[in-house]
Structure 1
Amino acid sequence: MAGFQDVVGHEQIIDHLQRAIELNKVSHAYLFCAEEGAGKKLLAGIFAQTLQCEKGGVNPCMECHSCIQAAGKNQPDIIWVTHEKPNSIGVEDIRTQVNGDIQVKPYGSPYKIYIIDEAEKMTVQAQNALLKTIEEPPAYGILILLAESADRLLPTILSRCVTLNLKPVADEKIRKYLMEQLQVPDYKADLSLAFAQGNVGRAVKLATSENFNEIKDAALHLLQHIHEMELYEIISALKQITDYRMDINDYLDILMVWYRDVLLFKATKDMNPLIFKEHINYIRQQADKSSYEGIETILEQLDKTKARLKANVNFELAMELLLLTIKEN
């Protein structure tokens, strides 16, 4: 596992956590808020490892027995809460893994730390069960919640947590990391940055993905020809998109960046800031044919599609509606 010094960006949050350790003012409950890939899991893991480090500094030493165990995710006093149901964390998950377990003192560490990933998936009953522990934790108990959004967490939970919102990381920092640490070519780094939007994990995933270029080419082919497609051809394209179901967010982000390029070129006639400037002829054609309202409608539909898929709406239905909206506008 990396130390704080290996994290790309998030300097303010790291400084806050290290100062809390240094001043012995560590809270009993934290909420790390950010989209997937932003680094909340990494930061939570390093924070927990540092708190349990036998040398007691503001960075994990990486050498003591506790640090080695934490790096292998088998430190007995750092508990990663799991759940069997993919879309919800139930009350029994919290009762058995947190509420019941926290009554047992740490095996040999100063703290007992519980990390609840995807905390927004906790049911209301699970959150109410957790609330009892957050309100009256033992002195050695620390709860770290990781969530993409705080919207689905109860106000009573939020009021008892120190909330740390991870902000997008500057492109130049991510670019430097991709090129120097991962040896990614500059053109691929730039393309990854365009889609990552300050998300380090996402940039790394895109830069090292074998599927990304295939997905990008398929999406661009669709975008460049959808206005002349018949309905049966759109249905055929939909079947191909189904093959990318596991990477659908990447696919949708490619569509979104394309239409942002179209919108930007329509407004400015400047190709320099475009991400897909090598496809300028197609972008120019679509900018000329589409209205501002039409492009905005497509971008709004892309956002709605992402939300629908996240809510487990029928995949084919959501994508069919999106493709028809694109064709109509």
Structure 2
Amino acid sequence: MSGFKDVVGHKDIIQYIQTAVKQDKVSHAYILNGERGSGKKLLAKLFAQTLQCENGEEEPCYECHSCKQAVSGNHPDIIKVTHEKPNSIGVDDIRVQINEDIQVKPYNGKYKVYIVPDADMMTVQAQNALLKTIEEPPAYAVILLLTENAESLLPTICSRCVMLKLRNIKDTLVKKYLMENLQIPDYKADVCTAFAQGNIGKAIMLANSEHFNEIKDEAVSLLKNIDDMELPELVEAVKRVSVYKIEITDYLDILMIWYRDVLLYKATKNIDRVIFGEQMEYIKERARKSSYEGISTILEAIEKAKTRLKANVNFDLVMELLLLTIKEN
């Protein structure tokens, strides 16, 4: 059972939450915005548990009846909004689980807390339905919207919520956590920290992943040889990558980090900050061959590929287009 003291980083957000609870100045709606693995769910859970704790402290006590209910996932006044469709939260999800339910007063405590993971998946109709509730909420209601991209929400929703932005955590804190809490050896902690880029959740996932080294090796092999690959070989490469569909974001992040290394070396000739230090021969060669514009085009293409795959565009088509863009630049 973890409290705010166990959260890595985000001290400003934690202080804000604890001050709001202590001074009884809790808002009716918050947006916790940060990339996947940044700690949104943990902070939302701790926020909800603190609000419901019967001792009224700045941390959940884990001893009162309310805290025990929260830990078991059975607290009647902490509601996690779910959705059946994998990539969208529909208007009925919001109406049934928030708008209608919110009219019922809390069963136990002072608050009724609604946690909405993936809130940026709400359809426009769902957002408009939620807006009516956010505009005139009951005094006991607290709605926590968890997003990776708050800009996808309607401006009217954003303007009525307190925005809490989760920043990247310092590498030193990430590495320390991996070594002390997960007993990850020094060299592996360095690699996971470098690839996580300040995202503690991602660092933990990489440290525990059996596939990460495979994915990294596959990506590096492609990048080292793509200049000499013809179209049939690119198609074959896409087939190999399709094995990692579930971890495709990690694969694309590896490509992105490689080209950031290329850009960094091309601009500064500094090898100390290059993550793929063991591949310097190939990094230098790519920096020599590619223009700044070409590298920028590739980085933009990787971001576009992420967006398209999230939107369920055909996997093979997206990846073939990306590899062709990389080869051409």
State TM-score, norm by structure 2: 0.97
Whole-Å separation in 1 of the counterparts to 2:189 and 2:168:
16
* Pairing 1:159-178 to 2, within 5 Å after superposition: 159-178=159-178
- Equivalence for 1:10: 10
Q: How far is the alpha carbon of 1:215 from its aligned partner?
A: 0.3
Q: How far is the alpha carbon of 1:186 from its aligned partner?
A: 1.5
Cα 1:156–1:180 shift into 2, 3 Å: same
Task: Work out whether 1:279 is the aligned partner of 2:252.
Answer: no
Q: How far is the alpha carbon of 1:234 from its aligned partner?
A: 1.3
State TM-score, norm by structure 1: 0.97
Q: How far is the alpha carbon of 1:315 from its aligned partner?
A: 1.1
* Pairing 1:49-198 to 2, within 5 Å after superposition: 49-198=49-198
Whole-Å separation in 2 of the counterparts to 1:266 and 1:161:
42
Task: Work out whether 1:326 is the aligned partner of 2:316.
Answer: no
- Equivalence for 2:226: 226
SS of residue paired to 2:163: strand
Judge which range, 258-267 or 196-205, deviates more: 258-267
Task: Work out whether 1:264 is the aligned partner of 2:264.
Answer: yes
Whole-Å separation in 1 of the counterparts to 2:136 and 2:328:
57
Q: How far is the alpha carbon of 1:14 from its aligned partner?
A: 0.4
SS of residue paired to 1:115: strand
- Which amino acid letter does the alignment assign opposite residue 25 of structure 2? K
Whole-Å separation in 2 of the counterparts to 1:148 and 1:225:
34
Note the aligned Cα RMSD (angstroms): 1.3
Q: How far is the alpha carbon of 1:270 from its aligned partner?
A: 3.1
- Equivalence for 2:47: 47
Whole-Å separation in 2 of the counterparts to 1:300 and 1:97:
38
Q: How far is the alpha carbon of 1:305 from its aligned partner?
A: 1.3
- Equivalence for 1:310: 310
Question: What does the per-residue CA deviation read over 1:76-124, in whole Å, with 9 as the maximum and x for residues that have no partner?
Answer: 1100011111111111111111111111121112211111111111112
Number of aligned residues: 329
Whole-Å separation in 1 of the counterparts to 2:98 and 2:295:
48
Whole-Å separation in 2 of the counterparts to 1:136 and 1:292:
51
- Which amino acid letter does the alignment assign opposite residue 249 of structure 2? N
* Pairing 1:236-247 to 2, within 5 Å after superposition: 236-247=236-247
Q: Which runs of 4+ in 1 moved over 3 A?
A: none
* Pairing 1:11-26 to 2, within 5 Å after superposition: 11-26=11-26
- Which amino acid letter does the alignment assign opposite residue 302 of structure 2? L
Whole-Å separation in 2 of the counterparts to 1:173 and 1:89:
35
Identical-pair percentage: 64
Whole-Å separation in 2 of the counterparts to 1:244 and 1:19:
43
Whole-Å separation in 1 of the counterparts to 2:263 and 2:131:
47
- Which amino acid letter does the alignment assign opposite residue 110 of structure 2? P
Whole-Å separation in 2 of the counterparts to 1:192 and 1:139:
44
SS of residue paired to 2:79: strand
Whole-Å separation in 1 of the counterparts to 2:187 and 2:248:
23
